Chain A
Amino acid sequence: MTPRRQSTIWVDRFDRSTSIRAIEAMGGAVISRLQLAGRTTLLFLEACAQLPLVGRSLPTLITQLEISGVGSVLVLSLIAFLTGMIMAVQTGSELEKFGVVNNLGAIIGATFVREMGPIWAAVIMLARVGAAMAAELGTMAVNEEIDALRVMSISPVRYLVMPRILALVIAMPFLTILADWVGMLGGMSVAVNMFNRPSEEFWTSAKGILSGLDFYSGLGKAAVFGGIIGTIACDRGMNTTDGAEGVGRSTTDTVVLSVIFVLLADLIMTSFIQVILKPVMG
């Protein structure tokens, strides 16, 4: 056997094993991501299946509505108002150059009702409520509280998960309506105070562009966002391991994953609404 031949064999082997290892690692990563996605989807379906038992979880549902809904009103209002003002200042000064500031209401209204309202509600919800939910359930998992529930034959999905997801699904559309109005109010205050336009002009312009479809699809999107945030938070929380460090990881994961999946869902739903629903419904 010549040395040259030996070395080719060696190189050949080396290449194959590293490439196989790389493929394996990639495959492994893909599979574990898919498993996670599957587990999360399953949790959502399980929570839906427990929905008929909502009556027994009413106290938890009410508490969660208070925490997620009522608790978010102030922050969300503040952020929506400021965003409405900022957008009005930015777009208003551009519109003024062309002498069409009278259309400011249409632009602010359309942006808020279609996008900004639901998205801001989702952002506040995932940062304030989703993260806290993951931390709460994560601490419970680490302290064996979830195991204790299972041993007592109390379904953690019925007792903990379903009311939490449902609270977010219910709260989100209301928070979106709030964000829509407060955001437009912010825009209007700029129109009135900075560009010296009458407030009726702002509202008329907004009403002129907005349809029922815009309004209801915004609310629908918000409810879906609530479901996404709640499911991710509960899944991450319930599957927390490794003590306090794990709780931190679940919380961060919840925020990051929620942002990604909320935006993805937004893209899909908005495309559907604009491309398919709009032409049909006019």
Chain B
Amino acid sequence: MSDTAHQANITRRETRKPGDLRPEEWTRERWEAAAPLDPIPPGKSTLMELREVHKRFGKRHILRGVTIDIYRGETLVILGGSGSGKTTLLKHLMGMLRSDEGRITIHDGSNRLELGAADQAEIETFRKRLGVVFQGAALLNSLTVLENVGLPLVEVDRLPPGQVLPRVTEALRRVYLPAEEILQLKPASLSGGMRKRVGIARAIIQNPEIILYDEPTTGLDPVTVNGVNELTLDLQAKLGVTSIVITHDLDAAFKIADRIAMLYLGRIIAIGSPEQIKANTNPVLRQLLTGATQGPLTEAYLTAAPGSAAP
């Protein structure tokens, strides 16, 4: 940000966004506060609307008022420390967990689906539009790679084996796996990175509209990481897929994201374009981006009261 712009911001204090605060202006209260919602940009429409979502596991308050709009067709990256509730948030989006408070609304044209109040059938219909890449791949260990990737085609779409094989081969090719070599192997005899990619292949095989990625590139070599990033961009460009990506990989985040959100102590404390996030002065983000060992992130680890969520 240029000096003149900075000056202009200071003179019109009330129009400044929290992310523009000068470093010395930050207080704990400000850096822990939920980021305000941006107005929906022209040409965008909301696909998922989260308002004040809370989740407790016993006494542990993991999500503490998550508020965010997810736009149709965007790639949203969610950053957050280990154990900050990223997977928990994702499970709310797939209807695996129900929030204690707040609501999650799925917009589909004029239809709205409240995930918290939806019945099983409605959730199942919604899930048909979802592909999920689980953190640990979540492949079925008793099935071969072919059976795993083809599982939704066989069990849900009821396709005959003749139609399953070519689609499985194609999906595996998209994640840079040698289909012929591994089709008949069990997940246990694959490497961690290969399992992850098989998991991605399974998530994309039914051409979902929305893909949720839980740390898709953790444990992959740099070339494959690039490949997975390109796949995400490609799916968005060609098929208009909405991707919600949890990652620890900042390079990847800045490469693929339309918007980046930061989850900290159970709230979205910052959200914006990669440039906005890079320029954001919130000390939590600064620490994450610079990798400093001193700062609010580490502080929260050390001082979090028992029973509260450390990031």
Contact = CB atoms under 8 A, between A and B. Distances in A.
Given A145-B139, A145-B140, A147-B91, A152 B152 contact: yes
A159 interface: yes
A154 B152 contact: yes
B127 interface: yes
B254 interface: no
Contacts of B136: 143-144
Interface in B131-188: 132, 134-136, 138-141, 151-152, 155-156
Contacts of B138: 143-145, 147-148
How many B residues are at the interface, by size bracket? 10 to 19
A62 B155 CA distance: 17
Interface in A80-127: none
A151 B130 contact: yes
B156 A152 contact: yes
A13 interface: no
A21 interface: no
A149 B155 CA distance: 10
Contacts of B128: 153
Nearest to B140: A145
A153 B134 CA distance: 15
Given A144-B135, A144-B136, A150 B156 contact: no
A269 interface: no
Interface string B229-241: 0000000000000
Given A143-B138, A145-B139, A148-B138, A153 B127 contact: yes
B155 A152 contact: yes
A144 B127 contact: no
Nearest to B135: A144
Interface in A50-73: 56
Interface string A216-247: 00000000000000000000000000000000
A139 B140 CA distance: 10
A144 B137 CA distance: 8
Contacts of A43: none
Interface in B10-65: none
B249 interface: no
B300 interface: no
B250 interface: no
Q: Is the interface of B mostly helix, strand, loop or mixed?
A: loop
A154 B136 CA distance: 19
A158 to B, nearest CB: 9
B96 interface: yes
B94 interface: yes
Nearest to A150: B96
A257 interface: no
B153 to A, nearest CB: 10
B139 A151 contact: no
A152 B151 CA distance: 9
Nearest to B133: A148
B12 to A, nearest CB: 47
A151 B132 contact: yes
Contacts of B141: 139-140, 143, 145
Contacts of A148: 132, 134, 138-140
Contacts of A150: 96, 127
A154 B156 contact: yes
Nearest to A139: B141
Interface in B99-151: 124, 127-128, 130, 132, 134-136, 138-141, 151
A5 to B, nearest CB: 38
Nearest to A154: B155
Contact of B155 (A147, A151, A159): A159
Given A144-B135, A145-B139, A147-B138, A153 B94 contact: no
A25 B148 CA distance: 45
Contacts of B134: 144, 147-148
Contacts of B151: 152, 154
Contacts of A139: 141
Contacts of A152: 127, 151-152, 155-156
Interface string A125-167: 0000000000000011001110111111110000100000000
Contacts of A143: 136, 138, 141
- Determine which residue in B124, B127, B155, B156 has the highest number of CB atoms from chain A within 10 A of its CB, and name it: B155
A151 B203 CA distance: 10
Nearest to A147: B96
Contact of B156 (A140, A145, A147, A153): A153
Contacts of B152: 152-154
A143 B127 CA distance: 20
Contacts of A144: 134-136, 138
Nearest to B132: A151
Interface string B70-101: 00000000000000000000010010100000
11 contacts: A143-B136, A143-B138, A144-B138, A147-B138, A148-B139, A148-B140, A149-B140, A151-B132, A152-B152, A153-B124, A153-B156
Given A145-B139, A151-B132, 10 more contacts: A56-B155, A143-B138, A144-B134, A145-B140, A150-B96, A151-B94, A151-B96, A152-B155, A153-B124, A159-B155
| Nearest 5 interchain pairs by C-beta | A148-B138, A144-B138, A152-B152, A154-B155, A151-B132
